[in-house]
Amino acid sequence: MNAQLKTTVNLMPESIKSFVATMLQEPNVHTPALELKMASFGPDGSTSQAAYACAQGNEGVILHQGRLLFSAGPYSFARLEVKFQADELQDVPAEFSCPQTLEVDDESQQFLENLTLSSCPPSLKNAINKLIAIGFTVRRPLDFSGSHMRRIQLHCGGNIAGTSIPKGIMVEATYLV
């Protein structure tokens, strides 16, 4: 990880730093590990957009958002995009840790087998397996729409009170077939 990415990750909340460290650990030496390709935290957009958001009372939205992008290689069409709002992380574990063996329940195991059948790259499948093992849930399973893009959404954290709108850490895994 380059120095700029390290600096950005070090500014993030502790639970996100722990998440990044867990995602970069790869227990399976026969599968290429995902790499952190991009990290941002804080204002997203121009100074005028930030000023406008603050003027509207939405400073939390623009000042506390974060985004991470993991990929298996420089030309990989498989990636994990992670989004979070720092002030919505109260229902997220303070520290993530990668279990020695990535055991999941039968339903999750069936889901992972379907990923293999749908040509999911091994590094992405292992990352999704790791996400499920550390407490993420699949919000929207494979999207087999007419395109060649496959999309899976995972989530860790709760919902906004009285709604089904998620808060916490959202992950979107995508790959081309």
Q: What is the pLDDT of residue 170?
A: 93
pLDDT digits (tens, 9 = 90+) for 102-155: 667 788 888 888 888 888 888 888 888 889 888 888 886 665 555 788 888 999
Q: Tell me the CA end-to-end span of the chain in Å, nearest whole number.
A: 28
pLDDT digits (tens, 9 = 90+) for 81-115: 999 988 888 888 888 876 666 667 788 888 888 88
How far apart (Å, rounded) are the C-alpha atoms in residues 116 and 16?
28
Sheet holding 78-85, edge to edge: 35-41, 65-71, 78-85, 169-176, 149-156, 137-140
Q: What is the pTM of this model?
A: 0.81
How far apart (Å, rounded) are the C-alpha atoms in residues 136 and 131?
5
- Quick check: 64 and 139 in contact, CB under 8 A? no
